[in-house]
Amino acid sequence: MAKQYQTLGEFIIDNQADFPYSSGELSRLINSIRLAAKVVNHEVNKAGLVDIIGAYGETNIQGEDQQKLDVYANQKFIQTLTNREIVCGIASEENDDFITIAGCNNDHKNKYVVLMDPLDGSSNIDVNVSVGTIFSVYRRVTPIGTPATKEDFLQPGNKQVAAGYIIYGTSTMLVYTTGHGVNGFTLNPALGSWYLSHPDMKFPENGRIYSINEGNYVHFPEGVKKYIKYCQEEEEDRPYTSRYIGSMVSDIHRNMIKGGIFIYPKSSKAFNGKLRLLYECNPMAYIIEQAGGKASDGFSRIMDIQPAELHQRAPFFAGSKNMVEKAEEFMKKFQ
């Protein structure tokens, strides 16, 4: 049960009982993520000082190479999860292949794998616009005691046991689900504590915001073109408002609070769209569904897609249930 003004630490302890057979591993995993998120947040907040303290990619005053923030975030999340030996494997949008973690006794005893996009929307960093981290957790399917394999990562989204995002925005928030609804925590940077600011988040069933990169209009499928025109028509509660940050975490976070739809469709240039099924679509879909929203590829549920590759892409239609269903109607009609 969510209590307002609780810290994330208290919340994790209070809710551990939600997992009857849990050995506390999942709680420790969320704890590691909140720690890495604070470290990354600190660095993201300094991004505007690059002209003063040296640009990323250059050598800093101590003679160390400065890293790009997405590389930095990738390393921090991997280090934190690896050092604490909580997971048996990690796959990241930033790495070509997955990493296996043996544990200090080389016993491969951990049961979870994590998939992540360490810094999504990173092209927004240079212009002081919100970015995010996305993570997804699965129970391994291979036997405990053996090294994790690709099979452990190539699971459909409906097998996720937890997923979340961190949004580095006007304030920094961690929003996550373990299959018992969605809760949002805001970081108090002075104290370094996360407070439950958004208990039991709900995606409004209807909305008036549509988020899509309309610059690609000519390349969109007919159903998407027609749906955009529908959003712009003068009718009852329409035209809708167009809002596109270009940072999916921020676009979806706003839509989850205000009601709206986010679309990254396939196009004549990119047959499966741009977003990665495992690192971006599935975790966001799990959060959205847990909040009462809907996520699909335009025709069917995102979380039921059986992935074939780690870096597979998928078209993504996500947000307020009734808006996604309306967009799907157009997709079907103009197939």
Contacts with ligand AHM, residue ranges (CB under 6 A)? 117, 120-122, 213, 246-248, 264, 274
**Cβ at position 120, least distance to Mg ion in Å:** 4
Q: Does 289 bind Mg ion (CB under 5 A)?
A: no
CA dihedral for 125, 127, 295, 315, sign (positive or negative): negative
**Cβ at position 141, least distance to ligand AHM in Å:** 27
Closer residue to ligand AHM, CB minimum distance, 88 or 131? 131
Give which of Mg ion, ligand AHM, none residue 246 binds (C-beta under 5 to 8 Å, depending on kind).
ligand AHM
Closer residue to ligand AHM, CB minimum distance, 8 or 245? 245
Q: Does 94 bind Mg ion (CB under 5 A)?
A: no
Closer residue to ligand AHM, CB minimum distance, 125 or 137? 125
Closer residue to Mg ion, CB minimum distance, 111 or 274? 274
Give which of ligand AHM, Mg ion, none residue 34 binds (C-beta under 5 to 8 Å, depending on kind).
none
**Cβ at position 53, least distance to ligand AHM in Å:** 24
Which of 85, 94, 120, 328 lies at the binding interface for Mg ion (CB under 5 A)? Answer: 120
Choose one: 109-117, 144-152, 164-172, 186-194; the region binding Mg ion (CB under 5 A). Answer: 109-117
Q: Does 70 bind Mg ion (CB under 5 A)?
A: no
Closer residue to ligand AHM, CB minimum distance, 169 or 195? 169
Closer residue to ligand AHM, CB minimum distance, 19 or 56? 56
